[in-house]
Amino acid sequence: MNTRYASPLARKLSAFVALSQAEFEMLERLHERRRTFAAGRDLVHQGQSGQAAYILSSGWVCSYKVQADGTRQIVDFQIPGDFLGLRSVLLRTSDHSFEPIVEIQAAEVLVSDLLEAFAHTPRLATAILWAVSRDEAMVVEHLVGVGRRDAEARLAHFLLELHARLALVGMGSRDGYPCPLTQSHLADALGLSTVHVNRVLRKLRDGGLVTFRNGHVTFDDYGALVDFAEFDPVYMDQSGPLLK
């Protein structure tokens, strides 16, 4: 990879396509309108229309829906290199909200920017389509987790998936990774109560598998955790570039 253009998004897309210099430069242009957003204030809210999409450059975001009774279901978490609100730009209205978990930097991307990028660098358009398809595959996997995995396997699988995503953009290793999520975030994402999340984390730690403490996930036995969660990252399609 050309390190001069090694943005998180470039690192991520390079898992699918061997980007040319022109494609790296187009990605740089998509990052020109960078903005900083405070934690806890929605970047995009459910039902909003006419907004831009964003490319997350630093920080973490959660995407969520609010139910009629006021409860929140977190759909996913976004990390550097992810698009925010891309689908809602194309569909004109956002069907869910995006909230920064910490202060973030994100680049605003208009529909016209995307159309220009797709017209001039069609391989880049294919790579972005891969990224969107991969995100959809992860949402499907989350649905399977909520419906079919017990709480311990569900949480273990989720922490391993986060590791794979972060490692792709140079932010995680087999030892672990920084993680700003709270037990409340995990509960809202995994369909558990906060008390249950606390109990499960303690059980995984006592079992010598993984420790989540003080904003950091530490893999105490990565291989055993993979076996316990039956984690197979094939659905994330990170085996290397398909397009040269």
Question: Which tokens in the block code for residue 181?
Answer: 């999520």
Query: Residue 70 belongs to a domain with what CATH number?
Result: 2.60.120.10
What's the confidence (pLDDT) of residue 49?
65
**Angstrom distance (rounded) from CA 159 to CA 179:** 10
Report the pLDDT averaged over residues 221-233. 96
Q: What is the pLDDT of residue 25?
A: 92
pLDDT of residue 154: 94
Whether residue 184 lies inside any domain: the answer is: yes
The reported pLDDT for the residue numbered 111 is: 84
pLDDT > 70? residue 123: yes
Q: Which domain holds residue 163?
A: 147-236
Q: 106, 82 in Cβ contact below 8 A?
A: no
Distance from C-alpha of 209 to C-alpha of 203, rounded to nearest angstrom: 9
Would you place residue 4 in the very low, low, confident or very high pLDDT band (cuts 50, 70, 90)? Answer: low
Q: Give the count of beta carbons closer than 10 Å to the beta carbon of residue 164.
A: 14
Cβ-in-10-Å burial (0-12, 13-18, 19+) of 8 comes to: buried
pLDDT reading at 126 higher than 70: yes
Q: How many CB atoms lie within 10 A of CB 39?
A: 14
Grade residue 51 by pLDDT with cuts at 50, 70 and 90. Answer: low
Residues 212 and 156 occupy one common structural domain: yes
Closest among 87, 78, 93 to 171, alpha carbons compared = 78
Residue 142 forms part of a structural domain:
no
Residue 218: both structure tokens together:
């530490």
* 61 pLDDT more than 90: yes
CA separation for the pair 216, 121 (Å, rounded):
38
Look at residues 99, 133, 167 and tell me which one is the last residue of a structural domain. Answer: 133
The three-point CA angle 2-13-73 to 5° equals 140
* Beta-carbon contacts of residue 128 (< 8 Å; ≥ 6 apart): 13, 83
**What confidence category does residue 241 fall into, taking pLDDT thresholds of 50, 70 and 90?**
low
Whether residues 21 and 125 fall in one domain: yes
pLDDT for 106 beyond 90: yes
Which among 106, 133, 160 is the end of a domain?
133
* pLDDT for residue 236: 83
Nearest to 124 by CA among 228, 233, 23, 15: 23
Length of the chain: 244
Cα–Cα distance for residue pair 43/53, rounded to 1 Å: 10
Mean of the per-residue pLDDT values for the chain? 88
Where does the pLDDT of residue 3 fall: very low under 50, low under 70, confident under 90, or very high at 90 and above?
A: very low
For the segment 138-167, what is each residue's pLDDT rounded down to a tens digit? 888 888 878 788 999 999 999 999 999 999
Determine, yes or no, domain membership for 93.
yes
Q: How far apart are CA 99 and CA 74, in angstroms?
A: 10
| Neighbouring C-beta atoms of residue 24, cutoff 10 Å | 20
Which CATH number belongs to the domain containing residue 208 in this structure?
1.10.10.10
